[in-house]
Amino acid sequence: MFDCYKMMKKLMFNFSPENAHTIAEFFFKHGANYTPFVLSFLAERFFIHDKRLEQTLFDRTFHNPVGLGAGFDKNATMIKMLTALGFGHIEYGTMTPEPQNGNAKPRCFRFPEQESIQNAMGFNNDGMHKIAKRLESLYPFATPLVANIGKNKTTSAENALSDYEKLIKRFKDLSDFLVINISSPNTPGLRDLQNEQFIKELFVMAKELTCKPVLLKIAPDLEIKEALELCSCALENGAQGIVATNTTIDYSLLPNAKDFGGISGKVLCEKSFNMFEALAKEFFGKTTLISVGGIDSADEAYRRLKAGASLIQIYSAFIFKGPSLNREINLGILERMNRDGFTHISELIGSDRR
């Protein structure tokens, strides 16, 4: 299977990253709709279902801790196929109230040697009404679904709260939890919303709108002290978890990086982990923590779980390493649990904090 993906990747990497993604989306979407037997075939090979990895969070069962980060399935068109490929949860989006095309092209660049991606997509998506309609025939789903929501580019900071209000109302019954995205670097002024006043208003409002958990996703480029203060503010006002981290604008990490957009993938690994570690030292045991950023192996996944992550997410590594990655990570976690004497994932999570 690995050799097959190596050949496929070589072919797909002849296309621009965005065109390659469009091709993949076409096959993932239509493959699930018109050849449903393929889903069973793939799930038998890729989906790891072992009671030792199973946990209940947000009143849902997560069969394994490895999820798909936001940005890959922006429009919720690939959920069935992605689940068959082994993801224990899917974060779809980012969605905005109104459809938008995103930023000017080219806006996505791959760096194969560094196994990293730089993107300035700008929340290109079909808009909340069309995406929600798609989900109405799917939700509730076999594995947990997560809605990642953000404001439209044309919405001013003064009116941003209204965008999030619309999105929470629309997706609260079409997801198992929601993630607030105010940390993408690709919408002008969005990261300026990472301030205590806006976060307080946002989570107070969210608590009034839904009983579903709403989490905050933060940038890796904040000062640690500021990140701790913002997360504390969110949690004090109703947030039920933290997702760390989004992409980075630290262009020094990547040789020949563009001077715009956000970087994800292997070069983000240590920066993301350092931020997560700081947050886990403060908040582990007080809220649910999800780690994302540069995770590409069982070793790295295991490190994040030991540090305090209840769930981890991958994205760029899925592109560079292929569909067997979920299986490899989950089996690798089980091997390391056996080695270290953990009988259940609950014993592993946060073991470095105890």
Active site residue 184: yes
Given 116, 183, 184, 264, the catalytic residue = 184
Q: H/E/C letters for each residue in the chain?
A: CHHHHHHHHHHHCCCCHHHHHHHHHHHHHHHHHHCHHHHHHHHHHHCCCCHHHCEEECCEEECCCEEECCCCCCCCCCHHHHHHCCCCEEEEEEECCCCECCCCCCCEEEEHHHCEEEECCCCCECCHHHHHHHHHCCCCCCCCEEEEECCCCCCCHHHHHHHHHHHHHHHCCCCCEEEEECCCCCCCCHHHHCCHHHHHHHHHHHHHHCCCCEEEEECCCCCHHHHHHHHHHHHHCCCCEEEECCCECCHHHCCCCCCCCEEEEHHHHHHHHHHHHHHHHHHECCEEEEEECCCCCHHHHHHHHHHCCCEEEECHHHHHHCCCHHHHHHHHHHHHHHHHCCCCHHHHCCHHHC
Catalytic sites, residue numbers: 184
